[in-house]
Amino acid sequence: MTNASTFVYVTFIRSTPEKLWSAITTPDFMKQYWFGMHFETDWKKGSPWQLVFPDGRVADGGEIVEFDPPRRLVLKWRNEWKPEFKAEGYARCTMELEAVDGAVKLSITHVMDRADSKFIQAVSGGWPRILSNLKSLLETGAIVLKS
């Protein structure tokens, strides 16, 4: 038995792995579904990354652990703007894309090596909102949630 906190979300998006990968890694596209936020990085294994608020503040950051387009992205992830989340340390976020019958199965697994992580509780509310917007944007050209 483990003392980790884990959040898993799986969705199917009518797209291709290449288009979905581009949507996940292109800052201007990302801003459309991630409430104005975007990643800043060079998208290379071992590189730092930051999730940046529209006003330029850093929300989250870490390191790119794996980068295998258009199949798998693994990020070492730490919240940078809420002291109680930052104090929990680094989590690991794995994004896996798999082509399935004209769609892409997108699996997000966010894990923190601590029981009852407040950060994992927070992302469990954030990921569904972000991924609903991503799915809607790719499938219909419009987002569902504005904030």
The three-state (H, E, C) secondary structure of 69-80, written as one string: CCCEEEEEEEEC
How many domains does the chain divide into? 1
Would you state the pLDDT for residue 146? 83
Give the domain CATH number at 112: 3.30.530.20
Assess if residue 16 is contained within a domain. Answer: yes
The three-state (H, E, C) secondary structure of 40-88, written as one string: ECCCCCCCEEEEECCCCCEEEEEEEEEEECCCEEEEEEEECCCHHHHCC
How far CA 113 is from CA of 5, 41, 58, 89, 90, in Å, comes to: 6, 25, 23, 9, 8
Assess if residue 79 is contained within a domain. Answer: yes
Instruction: Reply yes or no on whether the pLDDT at 1 is more than 80.
Output: no
Q: What is the pLDDT of residues 36-85, one digit of tens each?
A: 999 999 999 999 999 999 999 999 999 999 999 999 999 999 999 999 99
Percent of the chain residues topping a pLDDT of 90: 95
Assess if residue 14 is contained within a domain. Answer: yes
Assess if residue 147 is contained within a domain. Answer: no
Confidence tier at 2 by pLDDT (50, 70, 90): low
Mean of pLDDT over the chain: 96
Assess if residue 145 is contained within a domain. Answer: no
Q: What is the pLDDT of residues 76-90, one digit of tens each?
A: 999 999 999 999 999
Q: Which domain holds residue 23?
A: 5-140
